[in-house]
Structure 1
Amino acid sequence: MRNTVFRKLMANEFGQVRAEMVARDHVLSALGGRTPDQALEAGQPPKEVWLAVCEAFDVPEHRR
């Protein structure tokens, strides 16, 4: 998964504004106490970040 796909999935799930807020501000223990943006900047694969967000926000399996 590319970063652009990650951003598109986030926007589709949360709406553009909320997706940006979640990526920038929401700290996830599954990402080592980092936000999604910080995890991506640190080199964590976008698919892993997406799945961590899905777990944290109970995104249904069919949309993961």
Structure 2
Amino acid sequence: MRVTEFWSRMEEALGGAYAGVWASQHVIAELGGLTVQQALASGEQPKYVWRAVHETLGLPANQR
């Protein structure tokens, strides 16, 4: 997964205005206590970060 696809999925799940805010403020345990933006900035693969977001938000399986 590319970073652009990751952000498209984030915007689809949370809306364009809220996705960035949530990604910068919500700490996810599966990411080692980092936010989405921190995890991506530290080099974590977008696919792994998306899985953590998907689980945290309880999104449907078809959005995995």
Question: What TM bracket, shorter-length normalisation?
Answer: over 0.9
Aligned to 2:19: 19
Separation in 1 of the partners of 2:51 and 2:5?
13
Separation in 1 of the partners of 2:21 and 2:51?
17
> Greater strand percent: which structure?
2
Aligned to 1:10: 10
Q: Which runs of 5+ in 2 are unaligned?
A: none
Aligned to 1:56: 56
Q: Deviations over 1:4-35 (max 9, x none)?
A: 11000000111011111111110000000000
TM-score by length of 1: 0.96
Aligned to 1:42: 42
- Give structure 1 regions of 4+ aligned residues with deviation exceeding 4 angstroms: none
Deviation at 1:61, TM superposition (A): 0.5
Identity among equivalent pairs (%): 42
Q: Deviations over 1:29-53 (max 9, x none)?
A: 0000000000000000001001100
Q: Count matched residues.
A: 64
